[in-house]
Amino acid sequence: MSLRILLMRFGIAAAGGALVALAATTPAAADDERGLAGPTKKTVKGQVTARSGLILRSAPNRGGAVIRVAPYGEIVSIFCRTTGQSIDGNRYWYLLTDGTWAWGSARYIDARKTPRWC
């Protein structure tokens, strides 16, 4: 099995695991465990810094299918972070929740605070 396929499966599994974990907890229990104030605090805002736009993908690597391109300066909602393919020395990828679930390299997203792990 190729490394590309393994990385894509890892990305899909990580996203699925995050969704299952979210669905398995009640909002009150999740707030207590993480110290969050309410349901709006489950995502972190970030801004796209890639001048030519940021390609958002189906997996946390360059081999993932392109979902869409986020334009420079767009404010995005970050659900969680994981490690994936290194982009300019940065191995972190953010799972974004802006209409569709897609991965964006943290190298090109300026997060206002550090997102939780997926």
- What residues contact residue 115 under an 8 Å CB cut-off, 6+ apart? 43, 44, 78, 79, 80, 81, 94
3-25 pLDDT, tens digit each:
556 445 555 555 554 443 444 33
Is 0.95 surpassed by the pTM of this model?
no
Question: pLDDT tens digits, residue range 47-76?
Answer: 999 999 999 999 999 999 999 999 999 999
- Spell out the domain ranges in the chain: 3-111
pLDDT at 38 over 50: no
Query: 3-111 architecture in CATH?
Result: Roll (2.30)
Give the pLDDT band (50/70/90) at residue 110: very high
